[in-house]
Structure 1
Amino acid sequence: MIRQMLILSGALGVAGCASIEPDILVPDTSGPLAYATDLPPAGLEGEWWRGFDDPVMDALIEQGLAANLDIDAAGDRLGAADALLRAERADRLPSVDGTVEGGVDLRSDSEITLAAGLFGLFNPDLNGRLAAEIRAAVADYAEADYILADRRRIVAGAIANQYIEYRRSGAQLALLEESTDLQRQTLRIVQLRFEAGLAANLDVRRAAADLAQTRARQGLIAIARANSANALAALLAEPPGAYVPPSFGETASIPDYAAGPVAGVPADLLRRRTDILAAEARLAQAAATIGIERADLRPSLTIPGTLAAGDGTLGGLFNDFLLGLGAALDLPLFDGGRRRAEVNAARFEAEARLAEYRATFLDALGEVENALVSIEAYRQRNEALREAIEESETALGQSNALYREGLASLFDVLDAQRQLIASRQSLIDSEAALASSFVAFHVAVGSEGFERDPARVVPVMQRGETRSPENSEPEA
């Protein structure tokens, strides 16, 4: 499923500059021609969560994308990568420093002396190291940019899942109340029959035990509800328990997803999944690092220059000027094999990044396939559970009628109740799992749900050009 092809590792290089990285292997970006499981109907793209048609979920995700601390941290790291990229590009320019020296000559009637000078240095990048460092910095910037986008992808999915969990606990509480009402009615009937001498005290105890068992679930549901609420608060950068949206969880239903995404084909993951793009950027950075290490095997040239003014007296500061210009050539001769070892270490690191890139793609493909299987399975399960509920309701009605006539035992009534309550609980859980499967599908196919600034996107592992964070023009 994964083929290999050779591409120049200098693809991140500045246009017109020679690359000194070796060729490296990257996976073919075609991927499988189709997913193994049928896709759901095509529908929303982008802000996929709006397919649930739930204003509370929409508001929560919007707030989370604006306030989440992981997203904030990723944004700060992108800023740091931008600054470091600017610093690397600045090394291609000459540097100039100035000095001023002053003093008092005690041997010459305390005459004041003053001298000033400029010291400059220019590196023409004879060995290509500076160019390789820029390529590595561009890749680091691209990775930070993709990680920022990936945090948004993950946070949107996490908020949707926690919201579904909160709604599931709300539906379970509503079912708990409905179930206890049903069991109270049964207990009342049994008590009346016992008082009339038509039922044994054992029947009363059995009915009361079933009611208590159902009520005991309330504490577990409350724990799950609090956990999901606290998890949501953390995703929204709020302290636990500090934020509960208006009308949050008042409805007892599970959000129903009405539209599927435009998922495309597996190869689209390589263009949409930001964690895959980040892994690709790390691979490009590793290739650039090989170039940096290989540059140390070549001669390097620096051109220093000085401009000094002053003859040692205050009055002669502007009279005498001295200009100096030189060149220093560094020839690597013998280092005991250190430089070559560092190149080999960089090569192994690139191979490791390549393996990570492949693994990331395969993991993403597996997530999509798992979500597709789950969607279909839970749809079928929900249909079967609805049928089971309908049959259980009929069975309970019949057993109640027969029990009143003395033609059925209390065991039959309680068994029918248990089956009905269990089927209703299973349906709530299955509906929540189906909703979460749709969330997992969207997260897996890489639907980010926001517009990224094209000027901030740095393409990596593409042939022929690299765009800077400041603009989209190829760098000369």
Structure 2
Amino acid sequence: MTVSRLTITASALLLSGCATSLIEVPAANIPAPATYAEQLPPAGLDEAWWNGFRDPVLAALVERGLGANFEIAAARDRVFSAEALLRAEWADRLPSIDGSGEADLELTEGNSPVTASAGLLGSFDLDLSGRLSAEIRAAAASYAEADYLRADQQRLVAAAIARQYVEYRRTGAQLELFEQSTELQRQTLRIVNLRFEAGLAANLDVRRAAADLAQTEARLGLIEIARAEAEHGLAILLAEPPGTLAIMSPENAVTIPQYSAGPAIGTPANLLRRRGDILAAEARVLRAAAEVGIEQADLRPSLVIPGSILLGDGTIDGLFGSFLASLGAALDLPLFDGGRRRAEVTAARADLDASLSEYRQAFLRALGEAENALVAIRAYRERGASLEEAIVQSETALEQSNALYREGLASLFDVLDAQRQLISSRQSQLDNEAAIANAFIALHSAAASSTEDFN
């Protein structure tokens, strides 16, 4: 089905003013499918999606990050700035009054007269051209965009914290697997040494077993680097210096967090109401439409009423002795500018069309993120079942190859190959579990299923 939210949002942002400045916003005509191509996971929680991991450490980190993250703070400050600019545009619709004062001292021989005057100067723009109203609508759209981007920054930070936490847990599980793998290879090396000392194995077998063990031990540094990077990344997201973050270890610290169920994903059309970046793109369309109105206002006459009140007769004693007031009208009629104003209108309309295209693209990009995550969840789960079978078969193969090797019916190469397959399968299983967790993070981030809804 085709969905367009611009009509609703435009009416919400259109502020009172001269009707001649209103610009009709073209329909976005976004083709939003009724359903996703992939089957959605079951919903179970009507709360923040990260609680679906049932991990209190993760939940605490996300909540902490949402309150402390500097990028969120910067986005919040930009909202305050946009709100102030909107108030400034509204102020232009009111009369402006400025005070003035002047005093002169003439130094002459025998006499030093002082002259003084004071007054008020003011003006009032009737907004005959509609420019002020269009500027207010542009500022209102900028304010809405800033607020949507603030919400979107929360979405991005929550997902980033969850991904870093999954990586932190993955590297913890890798360290546990490293200990298991090296212990397995040390046992093999001890058996080979005993057989070599008994004259039942060649020195080449000892070297091969020792090389395999050293190769596995060499991975420890890489795991430690990845773990430190994950920990430092979490610290930065929580606005803390890297290396100072203390992460409380959960009971199952050496496993990958498993996702159970979270809030409902909804339909693709929900992205238009939930995703802050899409709503921000929509606000940019409305701002571009208002900017067309601003440029069109320059083609129309403008009327400003200036006024002044002057107090004083030129002497200090008569400062309040006289009163002079004036009121006028200044009409500005655009006549000839070589086509500059109309060219600026054309450029503004082209910017409006570009903003519409970017709005449509933002929706398609979000929809693609959600669809990719759904495919990843299904594919990684299917892969996980195959990896579990591979681990079972690898463990059996290793047991059999060890038994045959002790009896002299298999070579050390068979044993080492079975060990490599088992270690590789276990490592792949860990990576796959982390990939499933990250796919769920990507899905809920794409669907913005726990951020503010803007209706």
Q: Normalized against structure 2, the TM-score is what?
A: 0.95
Range that drifts further, 236-245 or 281-290 = 236-245
Range that drifts further, 18-27 or 118-127 = 18-27
Q: Deviations over 1:45-79 (max 9, x none)?
A: 44111111112211211121111111111111111
For 1:19 and 1:44, the matched residues in 2 are separated by 49
Contact map agreement 2:48 2:263 (CA 8 A) in 1: no
Aligned 1:332-371 pairs, distance under 5 A:
332-371=334-373
In structure 2, runs of 5+ residues without a counterpart are none
For 2:409 and 2:8, the matched residues in 1 are separated by 84
Q: Is 1:194 the counterpart of 2:196 in the alignment?
A: yes
For 1:6 and 1:37, the matched residues in 2 are separated by 28
Q: Normalized against structure 1, the TM-score is what?
A: 0.91
Q: Is 1:68 the counterpart of 2:69 in the alignment?
A: yes
AA aligned opposite 2:85: L
Contact map agreement 2:18 2:128 (CA 8 A) in 1: no
Q: CA deviation at 1:244?
A: 3.1
Contact map agreement 2:30 2:360 (CA 8 A) in 1: no
- Cα RMSD of the aligned pairs, angstroms, is 2.1
Q: Is 1:97 the counterpart of 2:98 in the alignment?
A: yes
Runs (4+) off by over 6 Å: 3-6
Report how many residues are paired. 453
Aligned 1:65-464 pairs, distance under 5 A:
65-106=66-107, 109-247=111-249, 251-449=253-451
For 2:382 and 2:407, the matched residues in 1 are separated by 38
Q: CA deviation at 1:248?
A: 7.2
SS in 2 for 1:26: coil
For 2:154 and 2:9, the matched residues in 1 are separated by 30
Q: CA deviation at 1:5?
A: 10
Contact map agreement 2:51 2:262 (CA 8 A) in 1: no
For 2:322 and 2:390, the matched residues in 1 are separated by 102
For 1:214 and 1:66, the matched residues in 2 are separated by 41
Q: CA deviation at 1:4?
A: 7.6
Q: CA deviation at 1:227?
A: 1.7
Q: Deviations over 1:232-255 (max 9, x none)?
A: 222122222222323379811001
Q: Deviations over 1:277-328 (max 9, x none)?
A: 0000001000000000000000000000111111112222222111110000
The 1:8/1:343 distance shift into structure 2, 3 A limit, reads: farther
Q: CA deviation at 1:111?
A: 2.6
Partner of 2:58: 57
SS in 1 for 2:101: strand
Contact map agreement 1:392 1:420 (CA 8 A) in 2: yes
Q: Deviations over 1:321-371 (max 9, x none)?
A: 111100000000000000000000100111111110011000000000000
Contact map agreement 1:152 1:448 (CA 8 A) in 2: no
- Give the percent of matched residue pairs that are identical in Structure 1 and Structure 2: 63
SS in 1 for 2:26: strand
SS in 1 for 2:171: helix
The 1:78/1:6 distance shift into structure 2, 3 A limit, reads: closer
In structure 1, runs of 5+ residues without a counterpart are 460-476
Q: CA deviation at 1:18?
A: 1.3
Range that drifts further, 232-241 or 166-175 = 232-241
SS in 2 for 1:121: strand
For 2:6 and 2:220, the matched residues in 1 are separated by 61
Q: CA deviation at 1:167?
A: 1.0
Contact map agreement 1:165 1:432 (CA 8 A) in 2: yes
The 1:152/1:299 distance shift into structure 2, 3 A limit, reads: same
Contact map agreement 1:150 1:274 (CA 8 A) in 2: yes
